[in-house]
């Protein structure tokens, strides 16, 4: 009878156990092996390749804009703290918008300050790594991750995941996750919780009246156009050409009705049809 030491028996026993399966517990039928991603870092969902979208994503902040955004974020932090104290005192729960403010922390504002600084210095191009933000703010990497999530949920930050191509042996392209891209914004849904001096200035009455007059003039100009011309000025491209041909057919019917003692279409009915066509075209292009 062959004898084994305790160590040899353990080696033999563990040699028949697959990775990821506990010793002494039978593996379930069909359980796949956990094979690591070929790049070592799988690309996360909703990621876009770096270098393909940044020109349309980043925005150059105006003079003093990052300072105003940072002041608004600090005011939102104070407002969230007041809301939490008031809710505890009144024994009530927080609304959805109030919970977003209450989710902000001092660490989140510190991270936002660093991102605003990078946006001001780099003309809006902000894509630091978590490690870079952690080193700049003296916060832990997990704290930075929670801060970015809170800022994005509150609407102070727009974040886009990115991946990049890497060189490697073997056929086919290889990718790996890279740092996210960030854009600082002012959340409109939280404006009611901020002090009045931090809110955007209301639009002057004369500017509103000018917009209304312009809309009336545009509607009056559209009323003088034929169906074909209305389609051409409303929609462009291939759809506009198709609708223009349809409008030309309506115009020809209208011209025939002028020569025929029994008109094919009433002019008011046809005008309403043209306006309905214009509304449909606006909905298609929206």
29-44 pLDDT, tens per residue?
444 444 445 555 578 8
117/141 same-domain check: yes
- Is residue 262 predicted with pLDDT exceeding 70? no
183/224 same-domain check: no
125/239 same-domain check: no
Domain boundary among 198, 217, 245: 198
185/235 same-domain check: no
189/218 same-domain check: no
- Rounded to whole angstroms, the maximal C-alpha distance in the chain is 118
- Write out the residue range of the structural domain in which residue 209 sits: 205-285
Residues 42-65 have a mean pLDDT of: 91
> What CATH number did the domain enclosing 56 receive?
1.10.10.10
Number of domains comprising the chain: 2
Q: Residue 11 falls within a domain, yes or no? A: no
113/193 same-domain check: yes
Q: What share of the chain is helix, strand, coil (3-state, %, to 5)?
A: 55, 10, 35
The CB density around residue 170, as the number of other CB atoms within 10 Å, is 6
Q: Tell me: the pLDDT tens digits for 120-134?
A: 999 999 999 999 999
**Partner residues linked to 119 by β-bridges:** none
Q: Residue 116 falls within a domain, yes or no? A: yes
Band (257; pLDDT cuts 50, 70, 90): low
Q: Strand 48-49 vs strand 174-184: parallel, antiparallel, or unpaired?
A: unpaired
In terms of C-beta density within 10 A (0-12 exposed, 13-18 middle, 19 or more buried), how is residue 233 classed? middle
Dist. CA 63–CA 69, nearest whole Å: 12
Reduce the secondary structure of 156-174 to three states and give it as a string: CEEEEEEEEEECCCCCCCE
**Partner residues linked to 177 by β-bridges:** 163
234/158 same-domain check: no
The CB density around residue 75, as the number of other CB atoms within 10 Å, is 17
**Partner residues linked to 157 by β-bridges:** 184
Q: Residue 155 falls within a domain, yes or no? A: yes
237/143 same-domain check: no
Q: Residue 69 falls within a domain, yes or no? A: yes
Domain boundary among 142, 171, 198: 198
Q: Residue 168 falls within a domain, yes or no? A: yes
Dist. CA 77–CA 166, nearest whole Å: 41
183/69 same-domain check: yes
Weakest mean pLDDT among 169-178, 188-197, 229-238, 249-258: 188-197
127/219 same-domain check: no
Q: Residue 35 falls within a domain, yes or no? A: no
Domain boundary among 198, 226, 246: 198
Q: Tell me: the pLDDT tens digits for 86-110?
A: 999 999 988 888 898 899 999 999 9
184/254 same-domain check: no
Q: Residue 57 falls within a domain, yes or no? A: yes
Token pair of 226, please?
A: 């034929």
109/235 same-domain check: no
Share the mean pLDDT of the chain.
77
Dist. CA 151–CA 112, nearest whole Å: 8
pLDDT of residue 114: 97
């Amino acid at each position: 009878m062959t004898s084994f030491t305790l160590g040899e028996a353990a080696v033999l026993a563990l040699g028949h156990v697959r990775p990821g399966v506990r010793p002494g517990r039978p593996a379930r039928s069909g359980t796949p092996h956990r094979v690591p991603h070929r790049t070592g870092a799988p690309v996360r969902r909703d990621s876009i390749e770096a270098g393909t979208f940044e020109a349309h994503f980043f925005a150059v902040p105006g003079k003093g804009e990052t300072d105003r955004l940072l002041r608004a974020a600090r005011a939102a932090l104070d407002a969230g703290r007041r809301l939490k104290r008031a809710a505890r005192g009144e024994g009530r729960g927080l609304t959805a918008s109030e919970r977003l403010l209450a989710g902000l922390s001092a660490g989140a504002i510190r991270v936002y300050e660093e991102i605003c600084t990078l946006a001001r210095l780099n003309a809006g191009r902000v894509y630091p790594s978590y490690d870079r933000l952690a080193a700049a703010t003296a916060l832990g990497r997990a704290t930075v991750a929670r801060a970015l999530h809170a800022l994005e949920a509150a609407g102070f930050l727009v974040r886009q995941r990115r991946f990049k191509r890497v060189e490697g042996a073997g056929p086919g392209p290889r990718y790996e996750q890279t740092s996210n891209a960030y854009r600082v914004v002012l959340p409109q849904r939280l404006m009611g919780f901020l002090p009045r001096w931090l809110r955007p200035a209301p639009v002057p009455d004369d500017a509103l009246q000018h917009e209304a007059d312009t809309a009336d003039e545009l509607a009056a100009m559209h009323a003088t156009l034929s169906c074909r011309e209305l389609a051409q000025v409303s929609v462009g491209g291939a759809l506009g050409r198709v609708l223009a041909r349809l409008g030309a057919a309506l115009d020809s019917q209208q011209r025939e009705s002028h020569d025929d003692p029994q008109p094919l279409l009433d002019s008011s009915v046809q005008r309403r049809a043209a306006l309905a066509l214009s509304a449909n075209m606006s909905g298609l292009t929206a």
